[in-house]
């Protein structure tokens, strides 16, 4: 800290601005009410992870979703937060709905909760698992059993465990947590401020529709959002997508939501990821 001086003549000559300041100190653009992050899918294949992080930072995004701990140092280098961490919550097929999975997932999730707390990652992802002939009620009980066991640590570390809502009609056949009502019922059984839903708008438009009403009526159980155009999971613009994403963004902003909205789609053929991401950013700037 430079102390006060008695005359301007005693002040050192001003330094030229650093043309390449660290990402953590770059001025972020005004995103309005909502915090935004990205997923690797928006960059496509063959692009180095560091280049993805650099571009995300240059475009002003605050975080990067679905990255495991070995990638966190690169996120930090570019001033990005691991907004939805992965690697400890099981898989889409083998998740929390089977008791035989619990010991393995509990070990990895407890480790990931501690790691997230150390670096300031607010969320980690987990999954119900596939039905495989199991009833939805039995799966609900088993998922709640696991989450009730883990919630005290999540609350103590201030890390949200987010169960992802996915569609079972197009992308993930037989996935159990495939309707908002089922996910909300699970959260109610656990009743923890650190057990939430990852509300994937693309998936829930396919399964349930009525997106804005479902978001606003269940806001207290939602910890994170993913975006993606329907159909095809491409851009979220109004040219090739049945949803009005700007309207959805305004609805989210009108609730008490404090988390992140992460863009998780693949640019359509002929679209470049940079211009595509800029447009997605503007759509969600409300």
pLDDT band at 124 (very low <50, low <70, confident <90, very high): very high
And the tokens for 177?
Answer: 């947590």
Q: What is the mean pLDDT of the chain?
A: 90
Whether 6 is covered by a domain: the verdict is no
Q: Which of 8-17, 18-27, 227-236, 267-276 is the least confident region?
A: 8-17
CA angle in degrees (0–180, nearest 5) for 20-25-26: 65
In a domain, 25, yes or no: no
CATH of the domain at 266: 3.20.20.150
Please report whether residue 244 resides in a domain: yes
Number of domains in the chain: 1
Q: Is residue 27 part of a domain?
A: no
Residue 26 in domain: no
Indicate the SS3 state at residue 129: coil
What is the CB-side half-sphere exposure of residue 34 using CA atoms within 13 A?
26
According to the model, what pLDDT value does residue 46 have? Answer: 85
Q: Which residue, 150, 133, 55, is CA-closest to 98?
A: 133
Q: Domain range spanning residue 126?
A: 35-283
Q: Which of 125, 94, 98 is nearest to 109 (CA)?
A: 125
124: tokens are 């980690």
pLDDT over 70 percentage in the chain: 89
User: Are 204 and 198 contacting, i.e. CB atoms less than 8 angstroms apart?
Assistant: no
Q: What global pTM score does this model have?
A: 0.88
Whether 99 is covered by a domain: the verdict is yes
* pLDDT tens per residue across span 209-244: 999 999 999 999 999 999 999 999 999 998 889 999
Q: Indicate whether 211 belongs to any domain.
A: yes
pLDDT surpasses 50 at 1:
no
Residue 257 counted as domain residue = yes
Confidence class of residue 206 from pLDDT cuts 50, 70 and 90?
very high
Report how far apart, in Å, the C-alpha atoms of 124 and of each of 27, 82, 107, 194, 215 are: 27, 9, 14, 10, 20
- Tens-place pLDDT, residues 30-49: 578 999 999 999 998 889 99
Contact between 240 and 229 under an 8 Å Cβ cutoff? The reply is: yes
Has residue 279 got a pLDDT over 50? yes
Half-sphere exposure of 266 (CA within 13 A, CB side): 7
pLDDT of residue 11: 35
């Amino acid at each position: 800290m430079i102390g006060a001086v008695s005359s301007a003549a005693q002040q050192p000559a001003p330094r030229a601005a650093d043309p390449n300041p660290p990402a953590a100190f770059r001025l972020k653009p005004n995103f309005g009410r909502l915090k935004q992050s990205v997923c690797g899918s928006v960059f496509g294949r063959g692009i180095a992870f560091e280049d993805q992080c650099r571009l995300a930072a240059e475009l002003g995004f605050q975080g990067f979703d679905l990255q495991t701990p070995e990638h966190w140092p690169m996120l930090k280098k570019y001033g990005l937060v691991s907004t939805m961490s992965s690697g400890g919550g099981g898989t889409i097929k083998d998740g929390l709905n089977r008791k035989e999975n619990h010991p393995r997932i509990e070990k990895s999730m407890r480790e990931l909760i501690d790691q997230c707390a150390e670096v300031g990652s607010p969320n980690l992802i987990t999954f119900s698992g596939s039905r495989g002939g199991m009833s939805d009620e039995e799966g609900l009980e088993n998922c709640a059993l696991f989450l009730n066991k883990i919630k005290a640590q999540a609350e103590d570390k201030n890390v949200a465990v987010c169960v992802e809502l996915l569609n079972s009609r197009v992308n993930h056949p037989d996935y159990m947590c495939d309707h908002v009502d089922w996910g909300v019922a699970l959260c109610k059984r656990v009743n923890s401020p650190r057990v939430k839903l990852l509300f994937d708008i693309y998936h829930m438009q396919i399964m349930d529709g009525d997106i804005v009403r479902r978001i606003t009526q269940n806001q207290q159980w939602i910890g994170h959002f993913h975006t993606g155009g329907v159909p095809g999971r491409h851009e979220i613009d109004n040219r090739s997508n049945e949803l009005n994403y700007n309207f959805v963004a305004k609805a989210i902003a009108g609730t008490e939501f404090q988390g992140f909205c992460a863009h998780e789609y693949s640019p359509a053929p002929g679209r470049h990821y940079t211009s595509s991401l800029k447009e997605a950013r503007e759509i969600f700037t409300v």
